[in-house]
């Protein structure tokens, strides 16, 4: 198998990242990456603090393409640091009636890949809220939206994750169990409980036979929010049983996140029974040995 280090989950200051796309590309190459995919949060119809503004969409695509040329063999950046394949992507949210990965809104950009993610849920018409906001916001949602029952939040989250998978239109499934971000030490629900895992496994089962790669996402660890990657070991073992391919993603929002905690990703993958990860390069997916990433 080839030796290729790749990351497809990269944010920059076009959305909620802290560094420029150019700075993120240089940091990725210095961290040993051979392939870097940019995946700014896709624009929504309403303003947020974290999504790419629609009026900057073309500017974002142009900057990533400029970096692709700069890091291609013979390009200015490649001459100084060695070549790196740069890919244009978006992280597209699942919110029917507002945004879905397969709605065609970004087809004109000719994306190299798309990440499909669920960030927001809604409980009985109380309005959407993001499950990966602050802990205080999560507690408020439990108290005011789900009447003190946190299980209603993860049930809705996994229902939406399953619907996202069924609808398709993307290449990589983002942070499978993001709903656990604010649940350190089981503060609000039992991640090992039968009901919780049944809901997660139900969503996982919808990936069987589909051309969707699941990321082992290191963003929670990089930002000090979780002590393990997404998804958890029980979920990853179920994905392995279903023969669902995986890839390693930093979910980087700043320069230090690139290359961080890769050992944790490798160890988790090994424990789940994986021996290789999927890598998108040259327009096609191939398998790369875990130790080669």
pLDDT tens digits, one per residue of 61-76: 999 999 999 999 999 9
Predicted confidence at residue 49, as pLDDT, reads: 87
Please give the average per-residue pLDDT across 136-146, as a whole number.
Answer: 94
Instruction: Identify the pLDDT of residue 207.
Output: 98
- Per-residue confidence (pLDDT) for residue 110, from 0 to 100: 98
Instruction: Give the per-residue pLDDT at 97.
Output: 86
- What is the pLDDT at residue 151? 96
Please write the tens of the pLDDT for every residue from 214-249. 999 999 999 999 999 999 999 999 999 999 999 999
pLDDT digits (tens, 9 = 90+) for 4-50: 999 999 999 999 999 999 999 999 999 999 999 999 999 988 878 89
Cβ-Cβ contacts under 8 Å for 218 (sequence gap 6 or more): 229, 248, 249, 250, 251, 257, 260, 261, 262, 264, 265
pLDDT class of 3 with cuts at 50, 70, 90: confident
Domains located in the chain, CATH noted: 6-292 (3.20.20.140)
CA proximity to 113, closest of 170, 71, 66: 170
Please say if the pLDDT value at position 2 is more than 80.
no
Q: What is the pLDDT of residue 154?
A: 98
| pTM for this model (two decimals) | 0.97
Confidence class of residue 198 from pLDDT cuts 50, 70 and 90? Answer: very high
Q: Which alpha helices (H) appear in the chain, and where do they start and end?
A: 21-30, 57-71, 76-81, 135-144, 151-167, 194-205, 219-222, 233-241, 262-272
- Burial degree of 148 (CB within 10 A; 0-12, 13-18, 19+): exposed
The fraction of the chain above a pLDDT of 90, given in percent, is 92
Task: Report d(CA 26, CA 6) in Å as an integer.
Answer: 14
Q: Say what percent of the chain tops pLDDT 70.
A: 99
Length of the chain (residues): 293
Q: Token pair of 191, please?
A: 């991640």
Per the listing, tokens 């895992």 go with 197
Q: What is residue 1's predicted lDDT score, i.e. its pLDDT?
A: 45
């Amino acid at each position: 198998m080839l030796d290729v280090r790749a990351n497809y989950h990269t944010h920059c200051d076009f959305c909620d990242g802290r560094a420029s796309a150019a700075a993120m590309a240089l940091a990725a190459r210095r961290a040993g990456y051979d392939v870097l995919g940019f995946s700014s949060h896709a624009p929504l119809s309403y303003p947020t603090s974290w999504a790419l503004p629609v009026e900057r969409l073309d500017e974002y695509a142009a900057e990533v393409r400029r970096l692709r040329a700069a890091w291609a063999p013979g390009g200015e950046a490649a001459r100084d640091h060695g070549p790196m394949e740069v890919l244009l992507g978006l992280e597209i949210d699942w919110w029917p009636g507002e945004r879905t990965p397969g709605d065609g809104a970004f087809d004109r950009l000719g994306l190299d890949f798309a990440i499909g993610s669920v960030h927001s849920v809604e409980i009985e018409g109380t309005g959407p809220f993001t499950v990966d906001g602050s802990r205080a916001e999560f507690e408020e949602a439990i108290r005011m939206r789900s009447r003190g029952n946190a299980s209603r939040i993860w049930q809705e989250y996994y229902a939406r994750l399953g619907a996202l998978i069924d609808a398709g239109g993307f290449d990589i499934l983002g942070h499978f169990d993001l709903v656990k971000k604010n649940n350190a030490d089981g503060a609000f629900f039992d991640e090992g409980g039968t009901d919780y895992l049944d809901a997660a496994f139900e969503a996982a089962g919808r990936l069987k036979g589909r051309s969707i790669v699941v990321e082992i996402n290191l963003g929670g660890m990089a930002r000090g929010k979780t002590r393990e990657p997404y998804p958890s070991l029980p979920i990853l073992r179920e994905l392995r049983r279903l023969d669902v391919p995986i890839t390693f993603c930093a979910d980087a929002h700043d320069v230090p996140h690139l290359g961080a905690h890769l050992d944790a990703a490798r160890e988790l993958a090994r424990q789940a029974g994986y021996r290789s990860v999927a890598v998108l390069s040259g327009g096609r997916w191939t398998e790369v040995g875990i130790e080669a990433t």
